[in-house]
Amino acid sequence: MKCVAVDEALLRAWPLPAPDGDGDKESRGRVLVIAGSREIPGAAVLAATAALRAGAGKLLVATPASVWQLVAAALPEARVIALPESKDGGVEPEAVDLVASCADSTACVLVGPGMMGEATTAAFVEGLLPRFRNSTVVLDALGMECVRGGKRFSQPVILTPHAGEMAHLTGDEKEDLQSDPVAAAVRHAREWQAVLALKGATTCIAAPDGKAWRHESRTPGLGTSGSGDVLAGLIAGLAARGATPEQAVVWGVALHARAGETQALRTGKVGYLARELAAEVPALLDLLGP
């Protein structure tokens, strides 16, 4: 099975959409981040900040009512919407109506980082998908629960599981997934009709048509709380500014790894914080850009 290595040569040959020199924030796309919970409010901040650092033009964040003021204070660049919560700390499914009014102007929507309540989150996502049919949808963490039991998307969707999450979603053994991650990623990307990033030291990316990419990084410091939220935000920000789902994932994974490598040089191999990663991205974009 052919699997293309993600390296600097590939990135330079596959440049991201260039910002319009005469454009404004509208021309780089709006990203909607639906994330956070009363126990993990920081996930919304990490993901949303990363989306802006990746180049998205406008940011809207929707987060549970119990933490919306905290999130709003941490994100002065964003409009923040408070969503009604369920008893398990999740977002009530009817909250879809509160964000659906912006669907026509949203280039990408990210759902899942730091959210609580498996059942309520899955129901929320099911209600959200048809309302955002013309947006790229990135599902992370509990946002991916909707694929359990079988799912085939009919719109652009990106999924970002690590091996443990993938085992939970598919019923496969974690060890089997890790033994042949490329085959697993390709099989499930085709089954779900979604772009899939199976994360790990070697991250395998697959598209519904069978194309696959492999990114290898020995950056142990990225194995830290909040790192996945940053990656999801980077992917969403790149998609918002016009990258295709496949390109957004490939570039997002590469930028995330390179941000970790840069932090390792600044701070040490481990011990840097997820919140420090996104600030490295604008310079990396310039370095890798045309």
In the predicted model, residues of the chain with pLDDT beneath 70 are 1, 20-28, 290
Longest alpha-carbon distance in the chain: 51
Which of 182, 193, 187, 158 has the alpha carbon at shortest distance from 171? 187
**4 lies in some domain:** no
What is the distance of C-alpha 239 from the center of its chain? 10
* Strand pairing report for 157-159 and 79-83: unpaired
Domain count, the chain: 1
**168 lies in some domain:** yes
The predicted structure's pLDDT at residue 1? 65
State pLDDT tens for residues 139-168.
Answer: 999 999 999 988 999 999 999 999 999 999
**233 lies in some domain:** yes
Per-residue tokens: 26: 């509208």
User: CATH number for the domain including 86?
Assistant: 3.40.1190.20
- If one counts every other C-beta atom within 10 angstroms of the C-beta of residue 198, the result is 25
The predicted structure's pLDDT at residue 18? 84
The predicted structure's pLDDT at residue 2? 83
**227 lies in some domain:** yes
**189 lies in some domain:** yes
**154 lies in some domain:** yes
Q: Which domain holds residue 169?
A: 29-288
- How far, in Å, CA of 160 to CA of 149, rounded? 18
